[in-house]
Amino acid sequence: MAESNRSHLLVTGAAGFIGANFVRHRLALCPHERIVALDALTYAGNRANLAGLEDAGRMTFVQGDIRDGGLMERLLRDHGIGTIVHFAAESHVDRSISGPDAFIDTNIVGTHSLLKAARAVWLGATRHAHRFHHVSTDEVYGSLGAGDPAFAEENQYQPNSPYSASKAASDHLVRAYHHTFGLEVTTSNCSNNYGPYQFPEKLIPLMMVNILHGKPLPVYGDGMNVRDWLYVEDHCRGISLILDRGRIGEVYNIGGNNERPNIEIVNRLCAMIDERFARDPGLAKRFGGAPAAKGEKSASLITYVKDRPGHDRRYAIDARKAESELGYRPAETFETGFAKTIDWYLANEAWWRGVMDGSYRSWIETNYAHRTGSPAAASVA
């Protein structure tokens, strides 16, 4: 095999939301590095998220499945990979409730397949320089009450959804491969990301696209569930710090220090879009169905719907370990990150229209109908 090189990265789930942002971030940060960008291109993965990156010759895209152990071993050997950054997963909690099987297959079996390949190639007859970084979520720690302290790395795991349970299982496998086989691993558990290239099934881009089409904004339950929101580039910076300075075998929590109830997020999004329509008359021409195009308020679309089963009430991250050991701190405030995100979606209409295919529409309609009993009201033309 080619000698493994820590500067040769395999990024799994590279055509998804955070994976694609990470590839862009890392290529810019480390001009000497090369990346093999692997993705199965499920409904959530899009080649367009990596557009233009292959031209410089430092990134190679491979369509493949992490469950294909033979392919994983070949990629590691043929490209002399010394660093894996593992994003590939089924990532949407609502889909894990309506169809958990894919979450078990990809998040647990898939992660194990990747770990086995890494062990076979890096810890075989000869030991090779390596790092396996596993990207996980704050949801593995469960749900907090209003006054509870934020999640620290030592918190007990209490996953509540099939999604978070599958991520918890994958975290345990990564830990076990370190303790039992000596695989050099790090893990990060991060809060809710937002920013460019996020698939419009997640809260912020879904609400954004629905506002622009004048469709209902489905707020689950009483809208008072709290999430900690982090601009995606800050998550990518956190992962880079762990890759470059993190201690082997350690877990780092990454967060935004930015807890907000969902209804505040939706109201703020509505107000900021109204403000952009007021500033730019061209938007009313492009999005004639939006309330703001008719002088109405986007917030008039807010519709409270049946809650997500088992809906975690609150997540909050204590990121002091990453801050003190690695110097991690989010660069964006909620105001700057949110403004960048809205402007990116307004400027990249072709991207989001391109990813909203028939299967997207049918998922959004089914999910909405299930919560309201009213079919198709949320579908997007």
Residues marked active site are found at 138-139, 163
Q: Indicate whether 41 belongs to the interface with ligand NAD (CB under 6 A).
A: yes
Spatial CA neighbour of 196 closest among 318, 332, 90: 332
**CB nearer to ligand TDX: pick between 182 and 261:** 261
DSSP symbols for 219-270: EETTS--EEEEEEHHHHHHHHHHHHHHPPTT-EEEE--S-EEEHHHHHHHHH
Task: Locate 230 and state its tokens.
Answer: 């982090």
Angle at 88 between CA 115 and CA 341, to 5 degrees: 145
| By the rule CB under 6 A, 16 interacts with ligand NAD | yes
Spatial distance between the Cα atoms of 90 and 102, rounded to a whole number of angstroms:
7
Smallest Cα–Cα separation from 158: which of 175, 174, 171? 171
DSSP 124: S
Assign 171 to helix, strand or coil. Answer: helix
Other C-beta atoms lying within 10 Å of the C-beta of residue 358: 7
Choose among 216, 259, 160, 221: nearest CA to 364: 216
User: What are the φ and ψ backbone dihedral angles of 165, each rounded to 5 degrees?
Assistant: -65, -40
Query: Given the structure tokens 């409730």, which residue do they identify?
Result: 97
Tell me the per-residue interface mask from 93 to 132 with ligand NAD, x by CB under 6 A, - otherwise: -------------x---x----------------------
Binding-site size for ligand NAD (CB under 6 A) equals 29
- Out of 75, 82, 85, 91, which residue is the one contacting ligand NAD (CB under 6 A)? 91
For residue 380 the two structure tokens come to 């997007």
Distance in Å, CB of 379 to ligand NAD, minimum: 21
- Binding span for ligand NAD by CB under 6 A among 37-45, 211-219, 295-303, 365-373: 37-45
Does residue 137 bind ligand TDX (CB under 6 A)? Answer: yes
Looking at 42-50, 258-266, 281-289, 358-366, which segment touches ligand NAD (CB under 6 A)? 42-50
User: Which residue sits closest to ligand TDX, CB atoms considered?
Assistant: 137
Under the binding rule (CB under 6 A), the answer on residue 211 touching ligand NAD is: no
Quick check: 259 binds ligand TDX (CB under 6 A)? no
Give me the residues that bind ligand TDX (CB under 6 A), please.
91-93, 137, 139, 192, 202-203, 206, 218-220, 225, 227, 262, 308
Give me the residues that bind ligand NAD (CB under 6 A), please.
12-13, 15-19, 39-42, 44-45, 65-67, 87-89, 91, 106, 110, 135, 137, 167, 190, 192-193, 199
